[in-house]
């Protein structure tokens, strides 16, 4: 074991892992974080805390992560290279580790253009792969990116994102290979709706033996409505939503659409469980955290293993 991460323990045991996420509030109330975390705590092995997602200012992921950690739970802090340079990111990693946070996700982040500060300058001193290298170097070598020795290194279980659906498809397995080479321990994928394409990607991952180097957690998002599905299809970059999903949701009444969305999510998990290299699931229920437990239960992923 490289770390004390609960997620690492679950994955190492061979059990299918389950993670989900909490978006921090756009204000100072810690109760919002606690309420959301409490909704999912018994059904997941780790709680992602997003970092200014969609480039909107929110409570910092490390601060919200500390709140969750102090509840006795297991935050997975996300860190985007858009908002900080390498000094700031390394100091945040140290700060998080000082509060016992042991799992994180290295991301490049949505472009500032999408958020409420489109006039902001993106930092991008390093990219997500270089952040993986940086954190791994801190953890395993006890050294800063600049080369100096640290006094006490952060034991982080290192994650990243993988999007099998973005262009060009043929590069997407190689991109995972690059993250593996950089030292990533696990990836959470973009929301999967096109299962055929995901299976094709996973075949490429398994053919190269990458599933033995990196734990792949399949991304699952329940659709609340056909409107949400259409929005994601047309407006969210890098999202692949087949017409059948839209057709299925529009085939039921508006009132039944949330249930249908949950059903699709559960069916997807059932099918994805059959793939050897899929080691767990990351459930992104956007502003719908309260429905995560029933998805986990219906998919046969409850109770969660105890450590």
Partner 1 sequence: MITAEQKPMQEIIQYIAPYDKILLIGCNECVTVCAAGGRKEVGLLASALKLDRLKHGKTIDIKEITLERQCDPEYVEELVATIDDADAVLSMACGCGVQTIAERFNKKHVYPAVNTKFMGASQSQGVWVERCQGCGDCMLGITAGICPVSRCSKSLLNGPCGGTSNGQCEIGPETDCAWVLIWERLKALGLESRYEELVEARDWRPAGGAGPRKIIREDLVL
Q: Residue 134: name the closest of 171, 88, 75, 101 by CA.
A: 88
Q: Which residues contact partner 1 by CB under 8 A?
A: 81-82, 86, 108-111, 113-114, 122, 124-130, 133-134, 145, 161-163, 166-168, 171, 174-175, 177-178, 181-182, 190, 237-238
Measured from the CB atom, the residue of 183 and 258 that comes closer to partner 1 is 183
CA distance 285 to 179: 26
Nearest approach in angstroms of CB 132 to partner 1 is: 10
Measured from the CB atom, the residue of 44 and 106 that comes closer to partner 1 is 106
Nearest approach in angstroms of CB 307 to partner 1 is: 31
Measured from the CB atom, the residue of 111 and 263 that comes closer to partner 1 is 111
Nearest approach in angstroms of CB 196 to partner 1 is: 18
Q: What is the 3-state secondary structure (H, E, C) of the chain?
A: CCCCCHHHHHHHHCCCEEEEEECCCCCCCHHHHHHHHHHHHHHCCEEEECCCHHHCCCCCHHHHHHHHHCCCCCEEEEEECCCCCHHHHHHHHHHHHHCCCCEEEEECCCCHHHCCCCCCCCCCCCCHHHHHHHHHHHHHHCECCCCCECCCCCCCEEEEEECCCCCCHHHHHHHHHHHHHHCCCEEEEEECCCHHHHHHHHHHHHHCCHHHCCEEEEEECCCCCHHHHHHHHHHCCCCCCCHHHHHHHHCCCCCCHHHHHHHHHHHHHHHHCCCCCEEEEEECCCCCHHHHHHHHHHCCCCCCCCC
Residue with tokens 């057709």: 247
Nearest approach in angstroms of CB 120 to partner 1 is: 13
Measured from the CB atom, the residue of 208 and 273 that comes closer to partner 1 is 208
Nearest approach in angstroms of CB 128 to partner 1 is: 8
Measured from the CB atom, the residue of 24 and 183 that comes closer to partner 1 is 183
Measured from the CB atom, the residue of 133 and 268 that comes closer to partner 1 is 133
CA distance 228 to 247: 13
Measured from the CB atom, the residue of 4 and 125 that comes closer to partner 1 is 125
Nearest approach in angstroms of CB 117 to partner 1 is: 15
Nearest approach in angstroms of CB 134 to partner 1 is: 7
Nearest approach in angstroms of CB 70 to partner 1 is: 32
Measured from the CB atom, the residue of 234 and 253 that comes closer to partner 1 is 234
């Amino acid at each position: 074991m490289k770390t004390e991460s609960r997620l690492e323990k679950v994955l190492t045991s061979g059990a299918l892992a389950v993670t989900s996420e909490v978006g921090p509030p756009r204000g100072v109330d810690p109760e919002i974080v606690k309420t959301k975390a409490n909704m999912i705590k018994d059904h997941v092995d780790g709680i992602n805390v997003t970092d200014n997602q969609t480039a909107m200012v929110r409570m910092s992921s490390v601060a919200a992560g500390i709140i969750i950690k102090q509840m006795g739970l297991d935050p997975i802090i996300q860190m985007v290279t858009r908002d900080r340079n390498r000094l700031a990111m390394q100091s945040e990693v140290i700060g998080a580790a000082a509060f016992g946070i042991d799992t994180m996700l290295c991301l490049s982040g949505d472009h500032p253009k999408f958020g409420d500060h489109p006039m902001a300058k993106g930092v991008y001193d390093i990219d997500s792969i270089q952040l993986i290298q940086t954190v791994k170097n801190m953890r395993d070598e006890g050294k800063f990116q600049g080369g100096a020795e640290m006094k006490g290194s952060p034991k982080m279980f290192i994650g990243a994102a993988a999007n099998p659906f973005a262009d060009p498809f043929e590069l997407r397995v190689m991109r995972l290979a690059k993250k593996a080479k950089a030292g990533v321990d696990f990836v959470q994928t973009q929301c999967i709706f096109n299962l055929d394409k995901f299976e094709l990607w996973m075949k490429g991952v398994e053919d190269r033996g990458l599933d033995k180097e990196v734990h792949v957690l399949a991304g699952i998002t329940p659709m609340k409505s056909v409107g949400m599905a259409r929005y994601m299809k047309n407006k969210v970059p890098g999202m692949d939503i087949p017409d059948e999903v839209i057709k299925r949701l529009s085939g039921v009444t508006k009132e039944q659409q949330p249930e249908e969305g949950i059903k699709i999510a559960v069916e997807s998990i059932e099918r994805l469980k059959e793939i050897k290299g899929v080691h767990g699931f990351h459930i992104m229920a956007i502003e719908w955290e309260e429905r995560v437990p029933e998805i986990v239960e219906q998919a046969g992923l409850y109770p969660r293993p105890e450590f």
